Structure 1
Amino acid sequence: MSQNSTLQLSLADEGATIALGQQLALAICEGAVFYMHGDLGAGKTTMTRGLVQGLGHVGNVKSPTYTLVEPYELAAKSVYHFDLYRLGDPEELEFMGIRDYFSAQAVCIVEWPEKGQGYIPNPDIDVYLAYEGEARSASLEAHSERGKQILATISSYA
């Protein structure tokens, strides 16, 4: 991949995971699509909390495991948090009007994106979270110019 396409970070604790989400939020100029990958408990929802709160949401950020999507209408952006873990059939996404959520100005965060394959747009950034003892590691991969710009901004903090 070209310059600014990947970023590897070590996250010491939950606070560091939230901080990375907040840094991502600050780097978003328009909208963006993030795919969150990782085992159960790896920090996908924690990073999403940092991202959503970094965009201006005040309050809880919970995983929409049963509702599939949690919308956040913020002053500056529409943010949609998807959790596809319990999705039975990806075709269900078509029935819920999934494409309507992914506008150019929206920030869409998708946990368990592989379960929606073929029905959701490609990500600007793939976020891979993994256990590293008590800490976590994060690998971010950009797949668009918008994603590369976000990672270039984040790299200046890292």
Structure 2
Amino acid sequence: MKKLEFLLADESATVTMGNHIAQALLHHNKPLSQQAFVAYLNGDLGAGKTTLTRGVVRGLGHQGNVKSPTYTLVEPYELSPYRVYHFDLYRLADPEELEFMGIRDYFNGQCVCFIEWPEKGNGLLASADVIINMAYQDEQRVITLHACTELGESVLAKLASENGS
């Protein structure tokens, strides 16, 4: 399973897709004890990257607000069994800023990282397990998920089986 594509009718459907991704992370065949799960999120402003991540974070058990880390660069969520980090690198002026914040420490086992605007951290980020592209299609969104690693393939296979793809 290298690629999946879904049509998302609205914001609610985007959050629901995030919930499905969370369930796939929780129930896929490979534990995240030795490595992080890393997803790169691509898409124009307003395409739904933060909304999708909100669905993932809530699907993994977070009860509170899920806000965009546009100004803080990263929002951490201590959940069980994973620590979830939502990065938004849109306002990153220099990739070296990531070194100063200890970026490599975020990519350890038991971590799930969703990174918006990953090209801004080129060369300093862990490789993606899944690349998620979100695009407008009329009033809806199209989400395409590409697996880049065995871990990514495992998660997409679980997502496909749960969604009848």
TM-score, L = length of structure 2:
0.91
Do residues 22 (structure 1) and 19 (structure 2) align?
A: yes
Q: Which runs of 4+ in 1 moved over 2 A?
A: none
Which residue in the other structure is 1:121 paired with?
Answer: 126
3-state SS of the aligned residue for 1:93? helix
Q: Structure 1: which 5+ runs fail to align?
A: none
Report the alpha carbon displacement of residue 75 of structure 1 after superposing the two structures with TM: 2.5
- Cα distance between partner residues in 2 of 1:62 and 1:72: 11
- Cα distance between partner residues in 2 of 1:18 and 1:149: 21
CA RMSD of aligned residues (A): 0.9
Q: What pairs with 1:21-100 in structure 2 (closer than 5 Å)?
A: 21-29=18-26, 30=32, 31-100=36-105
Which residue in the other structure is 2:148 paired with?
Answer: 143
- Cα distance between partner residues in 2 of 1:11 and 1:53: 18
Report the alpha carbon displacement of residue 28 of structure 1 after superposing the two structures with TM: 1.1
Which residue in the other structure is 1:5 paired with?
Answer: 2
Q: Structure 2: which 5+ runs fail to align?
A: 27-31
- What is the one-letter code of the residue matched to 1:6? K
3-state SS of the aligned residue for 1:130? strand
3-state SS of the aligned residue for 1:62? coil
- Cα distance between partner residues in 1 of 2:111 and 2:69: 18
TM-score, L = length of structure 1:
0.95
Provide Cα deviations, 1:93-152, integer angstroms capped at 9, x if missing partner.
Answer: 001100001112200010000000100011100000000111000010000111001111
- What is the one-letter code of the residue matched to 1:25? A
3-state SS of the aligned residue for 1:79? strand
The correspondence for 1:130, drawn from 135, 141, 150, is 135
Which residue in the other structure is 1:111 paired with?
Answer: 116
Provide Cα deviations, 1:1-26, integer angstroms capped at 9, x if missing partner.
Answer: xxx01001111111111111111111
29-38 or 45-54, which deviates more: 29-38
- Cα distance between partner residues in 1 of 2:134 and 2:59: 19
Matched residue count = 155
Provide Cα deviations, 1:11-50, integer angstroms capped at 9, x if missing partner.
Answer: 1111111111111111114241111100000000000000
